[in-house]
Amino acid sequence: MVCVNLKERSYQIIVGKNILSSLGRRCGALKLGSDVFCVTNAFIRSRYGKIIDDSLARQGIGCRFFIVPDGERSKSFAQCKRLLGALAGFDSGRRVFIAAVGGGVIGDLAGFCAAVYKRGIPCVQVPTTLLAQVDSAIGGKTAIDLPEGKNLVGAFYQPRLVVSDISLLATLDRRQFASGMAEALKYGIISDPRLFSLIEDKAGFLGPDDAGTLRVIVEACSRIKAKIVERDERDENGARMILNFGHTIGHAVEAAQGYGGYTHGEAIALGMLCACDISRKLRMLDEKSACRIERVITGLGLPSKISGVNPAAIAGPYSRDKKFKGQSRLVLLAGIGIPRIVEGVPFALVKEVVRKRIA
C-alpha cells in the first residue's frame, strides 16, 4: 500500500493479487457514494463484471457499467458527452461516483468526466494494464483529446482510491506488457537504481503472469510517482518534469507515425534511447550505463531502432510539443537514477541522434 499525501486530497494506492473483489469494501469504507458508474471496456466487463458487481452489491452499492470502445480515439468529446449523458440518466439523486476500470484511455476519460460532472464527483481508478498501474492511474492528470492535439482538454483531479490488481495483468498480450515495462523502466532510470537492476535481471524472462515480481515493480513505481506528485501536484514547479524522460522525443515519434504503429511504451523506449544518446554526446552519461539501458530495452522486447517514420516528420511535432515552449528543454541523464533537466539542447544534436536511430 502506497499513500499519496496531498492534504484533503490524499489517497491510497492498493497493490496486490486478486484484490478486485475487495473493491466494494474499500469504496464502502471511504463512503464514496451509494451508486457507482463503472466505466470499462467490453472485455473487462465480460471477464470481471460479475466480480465487480458482486463486490459492490455486498456493500449495497448499485452499479451500472458503461462500455467505452478500445483505443485512443475514445478520448474524444463525443465519448465524453455520451458518458456524461448516460451518467446523468443513471444518477438518481443518491450519491453517485465513478470507477474507471481499464487502461490509460479509460482512466483519462472517466477521470475527466468525474472531475466535471456536477463540478466533481469521487473517482476510483482500477487500472488493468501495466502502463496504467505504474503510471497513468496515479497523480490526477486526466484529459481528452482535441483534433488539434492530444490531452488538450483536461483537469488535475485526484482519484479517491487506486486499486492495482496484479492478477488483471495476466491477460495482457506481449506487446501491451512490454509497453508497460517501458514506463516501469523509466521509473528505475530516473529515480531508483535498485528497481532498474531488478528489471535488468528479469528482462528476458519476465511475463505478465509473474505476479510476485510485478507486484514489487508496480509498488515501487507507484511509490516513486506518489513522491513526485506530492512535490508538484499541478505540474508547476518542475519536479514533475523528470517524469517526461523519454517522452518529448517519444511523443514526436508517436505523432510522426500518426499514433498508429508504435505503442506508447515502444515510442517512449525509443525516446529514452535518444535521450541517452544526447546525454552521451554531451558527456553527461557514461558508456556503460547507456549500454545497460539499451540492453534492458531490447531484452524487454522493445525497439531500439525507429522504423517506418520519416525523420523530417519527427522534427515537426517535436518542436510543437507543449512541454517545449519554444525552448529545447529535455530531461537527460547523468547516470542511472540521476536525471537532469537541461535547457537549450541544440536542435541539430536532437536531429542527429534521431537520424542515427532510424533503421
Q: Choose between 85 and 308: whose C-beta lies nearer to a second copy.
A: 85
Cβ atoms within 10 A of the Cβ of 135, count?
Answer: 28
8 given a catalytic annotation:
no
Distance between CA atoms of residues 344 and 311, nearest Å? 21
For 134, residues 6+ apart whose C-beta sits below 8 A from its C-beta are 180, 183, 184, 187, 217, 218, 221, 222, 225
| Binding segment toward a second copy, per CB under 8 A, in 57-65, 77-85, 189-197, 252-260 | 77-85
94 given a catalytic annotation:
no
Q: Is 153 in the site for a second copy (CB under 8 A)?
A: yes
244 given a catalytic annotation:
yes
Distance between CA atoms of residues 43 and 18, nearest Å? 18
251 given a catalytic annotation:
yes
352 given a catalytic annotation:
no
According to CB under 8 A, which one of 283, 325, 343, 348 is a site residue for a second copy?
325
Site track 27-56 with a second copy (rule: CB under 8 A), x = hit: ------------------------------
Contact 144, 77 (CB under 8 A): yes
Q: Is 334 helix (H, G, I), strand (E, B) or coil?
A: coil
Distance between CA atoms of residues 169 and 177, nearest Å? 8
Q: Choose between 210 and 230: whose C-beta lies nearer to a second copy.
A: 230
294 given a catalytic annotation:
no
Which of 41, 45, 183, 219 is catalytic? The answer is: 183
With CA atoms as reference, report the closest residue to 176 among 120, 127, 131: 131
Residue 284 phi/psi, 5-degree rounding, is -95, -35
Site track 97-136 with a second copy (rule: CB under 8 A), x = hit: ---------------x--xxxxxx----------------
Q: Is 135 helix (H, G, I), strand (E, B) or coil?
A: helix
Cβ atoms within 10 A of the Cβ of 94, count?
Answer: 10
| Binding segment toward a second copy, per CB under 8 A, in 152-160, 173-181, 204-212, 262-270 | 152-160
Which of 45, 141, 160, 280 is catalytic? The answer is: 141
Q: Is 324 in the site for a second copy (CB under 8 A)?
A: yes
For 198, residues 6+ apart whose C-beta sits below 8 A from its C-beta are 188, 213, 216, 217, 220
User: How many residues of this chain interact with a second copy, rule: CB under 8 A?
Assistant: 32
Q: Is 259 helix (H, G, I), strand (E, B) or coil?
A: coil
Q: Is 238 in the site for a second copy (CB under 8 A)?
A: no
Site track 80-99 with a second copy (rule: CB under 8 A), x = hit: -x--xx--xx---x------
Contact 311, 354 (CB under 8 A): yes
Which of 8, 236, 287, 343 is catalytic? The answer is: 236
Give the binding site for a second copy (CB under 8 A): 77, 81, 84-85, 88-89, 93, 112, 115-120, 141, 143, 146-149, 152-156, 234-235, 320, 322, 324-326
